[in-house]
Amino acid sequence: MNILDIIAKKRDKKELTKEEIEYFVKEYTKNNITDYQAAALVMAIYINGMTERETTDLSISMAYSGDVLDLSSLGEVVDKHSTGGVGDKITLILMPIIASLGIPVAKMSGRGLGFTGGTIDKLESIPGYNTNIEEKEFIENVKKIGISLIGQTLNLAPADKKLYALRDTISCTESITLIASSIMSKKIASGANKIVIDVTCGSGAFMKDRKSAEKLASIMTKIGKLANKETVCIITDMNEPVGHAVGNTLEVIEAINILKGKEMPKDIKNIIEELGANMLMLAKKVENIEEGKKKIIENIQNKKAYKKFMELVENQGGDITYIENTEKFPKAKYIIPIQAKKSGKIQKLDAYKIGMMSAYLGAGRIKKEDKIDKEVGFVLNKKVGDKVEKGEILGYIHANDEEKGKEIQNKDIYEIV
């Protein structure tokens, strides 16, 4: 077999065999195929697409290009994944709820890149919280307290790591086939047998419209099935940021307040109910979705989820006094109000723009190696549909660089009609 024939076959719109896909993934991971050859093949896949069978073979080959975690000693683990967005702190809220309902949570999360945030960066805003834990300790943690949330310490799907970085440099990120295989390879390698995927849809997501989100959801569900992983995809809105806070520490504070039973924004409530109820269904803990939704909210109200979050933070070395009293978290130097420029109704609060501005303030990374500023971001108290008066404070910019903060203050963050 040789790579030139494989590239030519895909260039000519032909279907690749399982063996050809496996050969490419294996040899590229071992650096026996050059980046320019891989780039040519990826571009051919981007343009000509892949059948569902090819996409499944690509996902499984990439999943087995490195370590594959065995979580069978933990019982029925149900994983949760989001295709990414702005202000997405759902994992921080939902996973302690799930663990408090007796379902083991063993989750590896990623870091943010570009305008999207990552759960691991957020967790690291809690002083002392250790995200860098070896496999043995990770599993022990779950056995001990029912939950562990860590970074990707293992060599999971290294082929995806290489291909993902390559796609970024050749404008091949937005391909449903490539996104589906990238996500599913990591999910298959991370060991859970059941998976709920939050397929975000809107300006702040990879999938900008409902039709593409449905297509991505359908392909991932099929790949899951063929890989023996029961997979449920839920499409959620990402046209405006999730909840009120955007930025690492600010999102952790919002998540803690929700777990403490303080006000929960309607969009967050809908997402955690929907994803959570489906996770409970997959774990066979409830008979139907309505019962699942009730149980999810109940464990916030009775503080069981909050207690589980405290246990998680303490067990991973985090300072729980910050959770008890969120005033202890360091704040940005400049907290600048965003005022309504006119009276009316909020028409748009663009998630992509907010994500980009938040990254500009320092909350996100442009390059993988960039250091992030944990304190900066936005608190957007008003959301789409709210009526506002001219001059009213709609939210706050949290900046450590006054000039950048002022520059953003002058932009039309909210569209009011």
Residue 230: beta bridge partners? 194
Q: Of 384-413, which residues contact ligand URA (CB under 6 A)? A: none
Q: What is the DSSP string of 182-244?
A: HHHHHHHHT--SEEEEEEEESTTSSB-SHHHHHHHHHHHHHHHHHTT-EEEEEEEE-SS-SSS
Site size toward ligand URA (CB under 6 A) is 9
- In the complex, least distance from residue 185 CB atom to ligand URA, rounded to whole angstroms: 8
Q: How far is the CB of 154 from ligand URA (least distance, A)?
A: 15
Binding residue for ligand URA (CB under 6 A) from 65, 131, 182, 278?
182
Contact 329, 394 (CB under 8 A): no
Distances (CA, A) of 164 to 22, 161, 182, 333, 368: 17, 5, 7, 36, 12
Q: Of residues 81, 285, 295, 383, which has the active-site annotation?
A: 81
Distance CA 375, CA 107 (A): 25
Our CB check for ligand URA shows the closer of 59 and 299 to be 59
Task: Tell me whether residue 82 is one of the annotated catalytic residues.
Answer: no
The total of other beta-carbon atoms located within 10 Å of residue 156's CB is 23
d(CA 185, CA 197): 13
Q: Is 175 a catalytic residue?
A: no
**Binding segment toward ligand URA, per CB under 6 A, in 180-188, 281-289, 340-348, 409-417:** 180-188
Q: Does 115 bind ligand URA (CB under 6 A)?
A: no
* Nearer Cβ to ligand URA (62/312): 62
User: Does residue 120 touch ligand URA according to CB under 6 A?
Assistant: no
Instruction: Considering the complex, state which of residue 64 and residue 289 has its C-beta at the smaller distance from ligand URA.
Output: 64
Backbone angles phi, psi at 82, to 5 degrees: -120, 145
Cβ of residue 110: shortest distance to ligand URA, in angstroms? 7
Restricted to residues 197-226, the positions that interact with ligand URA (CB under 6 A) are 206
Which candidate in 65, 125, 181, 182 is catalytic? 182
How many angstroms separate the Cα of 335 from the Cα of each of 42, 134, 148, 332, 401? 44, 39, 33, 7, 10
Q: Least distance (Å) from ligand URA to the CB of residue 88?
A: 12
Q: Are 219 and 103 in contact (CB under 8 A)?
A: no
- DSSP codes, 243-259: SSEESHHHHHHHHHHHH
By the rule CB under 6 A, 183 interacts with ligand URA: yes
Q: Active site includes 160?
A: yes
To ligand URA, the closest distance from the beta carbon of 147 in angstroms equals 22
Residue number with CB closer to ligand URA (185 or 278) = 185
Site mask for ligand URA (CB under 6 A), range 74-103, x = bound: ---------xx-------------------
171 is catalytic: no
Give buried/exposed letters for 219-253 (b at 16+ CB in 10 A, else e): bbbbbbebbebebbbbbbbbbbbbbbbbbbbbbbb
186 is catalytic: yes
Residue from the set 90, 179, 264, 280 that interacts with ligand URA by CB under 6 A: 179
Q: Using the 8-state DSSP alphabet, how is residue 66 labeled?
A: S
| Catalytic residue list | 81, 160, 167, 182, 186
Binding site for ligand URA (CB under 6 A): 83-84, 164, 178-179, 182-183, 186, 206
